[in-house]
Structure 1
């Protein structure tokens, strides 16, 4: 791996790891991220977890090619099963669907006692992870959004602590879906994502109205989401 060839989303993920991190990268994809971090920070250590034999072997070879075997431990196993209790201080899970990331965190909750920071980059459905954070005593401390190779990615950073919640239930649902920090930050990439979501919701609504039986609760839910998206786009662009 040429460290300069790391994807932009993984550069951004790496930037959220504090100096001297002892972290786990779950679903490590050739261990590119742990190698990059440990090459940049001589005090960092990592566990690279892979569930399949092929990627596990690739990750081991990558670590060996950089002579980082003393600081990166590549392990074969499912999710957080590769970790000992209280072994790491940060966890990274990038490049999976939101529901899968949520399920990995849920299944491995007993391994999270010493984990101060969780950094996730879901490919879809960030809402499911935000909801998990909210329900499990993690506060979002930062979010970012970027576009790379035609895809829009969100990165969420959470730390242990009582999450602050809006009093209004609808506002909570809006922030779980669109992201409290992203809503405040705005920006072209966020607006582009909201416009794409708005187009999708309008299409789904039209299809639902053509159905022989209409689920009014679902229609009302989509109408609510359309209102939220229009609020974001109208407010931020005028």
Structure 2
């Protein structure tokens, strides 16, 4: 089964072997492909709700892999035992929710060797959270699906200096690598910031300091396009 470019980018960041958990597995496509592409790898598909767990089991069963991947119902990392997984993949959730999931089970989080994350929003928040908790970003990628550009982050344990505000917004590795979708990525972030700025200016008593911060963010992002 072919994954779309977003999930392909997630899969590409998962190391060979070991144990990987696809948290928020939905229909189980990523978990199934991770196992199919590396049979030595143990794969756990986990989801908070019964519906997606049932859908994942059906996907695996229909593809003759019902015994190859374990499906578990559990809330985030609570579906795992401490030290059980080397890598977790969390894709398609908000950046704050991803940070909350990682923070909710510190014993499990502490035992990980890597995390492959694909946030839908709150990118700077998630990146700063990782650095604040003794992790850093090792690699990043961009992928476009149905006209939308997605960010994929590979984070690993290890202290590192906190990136600058523009790096947190755009991605410190993406800023260095400047992949094919980089310009579109920056333009999308500029558009999002412009909408926030316009909305705040329409308010009866806008936060002037926040307005200045947003204007500075936009200026620094615009400089990346020159």
Paired position in structure 1 for 2:31: 34
Name the TM-score, length of structure 1 as normaliser: 0.88
Secondary structure at 1:84 match in 2: coil
Contact 2:166–2:221 (CA<8 Å) still a contact in 1?
no
Distance in structure 2 (CA, Å) of the matches to 1:154 and 1:16: 12
Deviation of 1:65 (Å): 2.9
State the number of aligned residues.
226
TM-score w.r.t. structure 2 length?
0.92
Residue 119 (structure 1) aligned to one of 97, 116, 121: 116
Which residue does 2:170 correspond to in 1?
178
Contact 1:44 1:71 survives alignment (8 Å): no
Counterparts of 1:57 and 1:208, CA distance in 2: 43
Which ranges of structure 1 fall in alignment gaps of 5 or more residues?
167-171
Runs of 4+ in 1 over 6 A off after TM superposition: none
Q: CA deviation at 1:216?
A: 1.3
Query: What's the C-alpha RMSD, in Å, of the aligned pairs?
Result: 1.8
127-136 or 187-196: bigger deviation: 187-196
Q: Aligned equivalents of 1:215 and 1:85: distance in 2?
A: 43
Partner of 2:69: 72
Structure of higher RCO (CA pairs closer than 8 Å, 6+ residues apart): 2
Which blocks of at least 5 consecutive residues in structure 2 are unaligned?
Answer: none
Greater mean deviation of Cα atoms: 119-128 or 212-221: 212-221
Say whether 1:191 aligns with 2:183.
yes
- Note closer, same or farther for the CA distance 1:201–1:13 as it changes in structure 2 (3 Å cut): closer
In structure 1, the partner of 2:9 is 12
Larger Rg: 1
Answering whether residue 50 of structure 2 is matched by residue 58 of structure 1, we say: no
